[in-house]
Amino acid sequence: MAKEVILEVSDVGKSFPGVNALENISIQFHKGEVHALLGENGAGKSTLMKILAGIHTPDSGTIRLRGKEVFFNKPKQSMEAGIGMVHQELCLCPHQTAAENVYMGRSPVNKFGFFDWKKLNADAQQIFAQLDMDVRPSDVVGNLSIAKQQMIEIAKAASMNASIIILDEPTSSVTEEERLALFNMIRRLKEKDVAIIYISHRMEEILEIADCFTILRDGHFIVTKPVEGITIDEIITGMVGRTLTYVEHEQSSGQDEPVMEAKGLTRRGVFENISFNVRKGEVLGLAGLVGAGRSEVARCIFGLDKMDSGAIWINGRECSIHSPRSAINYGVGFVTEDRKMDGSVLEMSVQENITLPILKTICKAGFINKTRDHLIARQAIENYGVKTPSPKQKVVNLSGGNQQKVIIAKWLTTNPKVLILDEPTRGIDVGAKNEIYKMINELTAKGLAVIMISSEMPEILRMSDRVIVMREGKITAEIPKKDATQDTIMRFAIQ
Amino acid sequence: MVQNPPLKKEILMPKILKAFIGSYGLVFVILIFCIPVTIIRPVFWSWGNLSNILVQMTVIGVLTMGQVFVLISGGGGIDLSVGSTLAFSAILGAGLIRNSGFPVWAGLLVTLLTGIAVGAFNGLIITKIKISPLITTLAVQTAVRGLVMIYTGGADVTNMPRAYTDIVSKGIGSISWSVVITFAIFFITMVILRYTRYGRELYAVGGNEYAANVSGINVTKIRIAAYTACGLLASVAGIITTARLYTAGPRAGTGMELTAISAAVIGGTSLAGGKGYVSGAVLGVIFLQIIDNTTNLMAIPAAYVSALKGAIILGAAILDRIRSSDKFK
């Protein structure tokens, strides 16, 4: 590792009222390296990144850029010094073109002081070509996939000659192919000697793309190491501070009667002839690439979208599900993919969220029985280990893992027979993931049938009794647990 | 496992009180505002003047409750048509009573049904055809005002019978029925929002319509009901207006929608949906009424009053912004 140090953080500390977010953090970042920053949620990763991006100012310690001490007060100063940050939530103008977004606020003008479209598009084209991007300068950003938008953000940073680019969970919502394209782009940036700081919860990716990694835990520096020769287990141990083995799913007998059967579900142009069943106490894994139509099948089963043909049978009877309400009445629960978008009402309390689907049952003449409302919520909070100071706490104030538990608790209070989990652990840290797995195990032990959609292969392999693989709207394979490997699943998902 | 505090038995009464004093910041501002008038014109505190304020705030008060429902329902919820609905529903009922010999109760019923119909129409267009509430209710405002003009030819329906005007001129002791009705509406709205399934679901729909839908709530129904309630309340305001003036005029209610929306917003109801309180909205109504009353007593020219009100509405919005910003937390 003879690469030159470009950015050095020494003894940086930062506290917010009531919390020491960071204490004595010292890290060196090298030119042309991908440096992964790891830690559970709340470990201090984002605080550190916000300090580097000039959003927060450190209470103590120094930051040296190319050997010179720097102090950022505003994001603009950090940007001008050559640090580009790509946030998890993208900040592009959706109605403008890729080129306009890349040169936002720095548009070239011709000698008459008018906007120079030609130069703008030519410059953008050059950057996109350098980074191997499949984007045209004239593409309207809002029409592009999330992954491409992300690439435009990165191109924007690169166009400012950033020597350090921070990527915050760039792959949390992209398909496998797009991820590969993104990694390709990252490698191009490396060749140009750009230092990349990479934040992700996906361990497999770290091993693939990063050169070295630093672990933070509870605001403290734990270790910086090269990635070579390290295992995921070692990384996780460093992150949680103890040896953590994921719970395994105890296999169900596979002999129980099917609770739910899908027969020939079709939604034209989306998925076709989807048939499967899920048994009592079983976890049925739904694997495939993002865009294979898995979430869409789930949405139809739950009555959110209409299907063109097919039938759903629950407990041996055909059901006519035409709205979420009727799905709930038949005993189906649905933990959606996007927690923030349609998982919970963030501004409402934990209690109000938990009892939302069952208000009817705790009402008399339209009035909510507040005592029962409170009791049911408290019971659920206790049973499912939701960490909240009070049932009255707003969901928005909870951590991602706890928000997810609130959503699962909400569905369990409806007494479902089948629970559909769509990406149940996306964006959740390692410790909380494990708790969600435990929760699933307890539920299947009690006879609940679970359909789990996941794009994380290890999760599918760990938790499923059976795996169904989907590709382009069709089921391509059904694999029992003993035959399921990453390779077989991937093969059916791609070809 | 988390240790949760023991369950406390909740009592209804203090909670209602709490709801009413919840926005004590506004109470404070109102009291400060009353200082100059207390010094210059102590007559402000006379029972005659205060009961006058109460009667004057009835119409805006009732309209504001309608806006509270609609604003909480989210999705850009707003109802600009209430001023026109007020005039249209009142004049239809009044016309039937005066010109077609309808009994008073039947005329009142027609007025209320008209309000419901206009409100439900708004709700249907907004939810089923998915036209933005701003455009829908703006169009309905214009069209309904046109209908009023067509129906009346621009003339007032005058000399309403005693049985009708008694709504304002009679009452319990010295408190007019219109005031009693208005406060009953405040109370009912608060109970609906805080204690019923509809209220809870309305907040959920306004807070996150997608999550509400996934939780099995019929978002369309909840929103249509909110607009219908708003239309109904506009017709109630129409009845009070007519009873007060002994006359149903084709221009009644003009511009009142904006005053009602301002009152709701001053009281902390969010234009983004999912947030709003009756207590705050009522204080907003009282505040706007007191500005009118005190500036009138102190003989401040109307132009200044208008400028002042604008500043106060903006100030309230800025305060709300500060209160909900992360830094304040």
Question: Which residues in chain B are closer than 8 Å to A360, comparing Cβ atoms?
Answer: 197
Rounded to an integer, the average pLDDT of A386-408 is 89
Closest CA to B92 of B72, B78, B109: B109
pLDDT tens, position by position, A148-201: 888 898 898 888 888 999 998 887 667 778 888 889 989 999 998 999 999 887
Contact call for B4 and A342, based on CB within 8 A = no
Say if residue B18's pLDDT is above 60: no
Q: Residue B24: pLDDT band by 50, 70, 90 thresholds?
A: low
Say if residue B2's pLDDT is above 50: no
Of A327, A334, A345, the CB nearest to B207: A345
Q: What's the CA gap between A492 and A485, in Å, rounded? A: 11
- Residue B307, both tokens: 């400028």
Q: What percent of chain B has pLDDT over 70?
A: 89
Q: What's the CA gap between A182 and A175, in Å, rounded? A: 10
- Residue A340, both tokens: 């923030």
Contact call for B215 and A352, based on CB within 8 A = no
Question: Which residues in chain B are closer than 8 Å to A328, comparing Cβ atoms?
Answer: 216
Q: Residue B153: pLDDT band by 50, 70, 90 thresholds?
A: very high
| A290 vs A308, residue with greater confidence | A308
| A493 vs B62, residue with greater confidence | B62
Rounded to an integer, the average pLDDT of B105-132 is 97
Q: Which of B8, B194, B208, B214 should we substitute to test contact with A (largest number of A Cβ atoms within 10 Å)?
A: B214
Residue A168 and residue A204 in contact, taking contact as beta carbons nearer than 8 Å: no
Say if residue B131's pLDDT is above 70: yes
Question: Which residues in chain A are closer than 8 Å to B10, comparing Cβ atoms?
Answer: 370-371, 374
Residue B223 and residue B77 in contact, taking contact as beta carbons nearer than 8 Å: yes
Q: What pLDDT was estimated at residue A147?
A: 82
State how far the alpha carbon of A255 is from the alpha carbons of A281, A462, A465, in Å.
10, 20, 12
Say if residue B25's pLDDT is above 80: no
Q: What pLDDT was estimated at residue B243?
A: 96
| A323 vs A251, residue with greater confidence | A323
Contact call for A343 and B211, based on CB within 8 A = yes
Q: Residue B328: pLDDT band by 50, 70, 90 thresholds?
A: very low
Say if residue A98's pLDDT is above 50: yes
State the average pLDDT for chain A.
Answer: 88
pTM of the model: 0.80
| B33 vs B58, residue with greater confidence | B58
**Chain A residues interacting with chain B (CB cutoff of 8 angstroms):** 302, 304, 323-325, 327-328, 334, 336, 341-348, 352, 356-357, 359-360, 363, 366-368, 370-371, 374-375, 378, 381-382, 385-388, 390-391, 410
pLDDT tens, position by position, A57-67: 899 999 999 98
Q: How far is A388 from chain B (nearest CA, A)?
A: 8
Of A325, A347, A368, the CB nearest to B196: A368
Question: CA torsion B179→B180→B184→B187, rounded to 10°?
Answer: 70
Q: What pLDDT was estimated at residue B320?
A: 65
pLDDT tens, position by position, A198-218: 988 778 888 889 999 999 887
- Residue A109, both tokens: 């003008």
Q: Residue A19: pLDDT band by 50, 70, 90 thresholds?
A: low
Residue A466 and residue A282 in contact, taking contact as beta carbons nearer than 8 Å: yes
Q: Who contacts A334 (Cβ-Cβ below 8 Å, separation ≥6)?
A: A298, A301, A302, A304, A324, A327, A411, A419, A420, A422, B214
Q: What's the CA gap between A198 and B314, in Å, rounded? A: 43
Q: CB neighbours (10 Å) of residue A365?
A: 6
Q: What pLDDT was estimated at residue A17?
A: 65
Q: Residue B1: pLDDT band by 50, 70, 90 thresholds?
A: very low
| A117 vs B325, residue with greater confidence | A117
Q: What's the CA gap between A242 and A222, in Å, rounded? A: 13
- Residue A218, both tokens: 């509870």
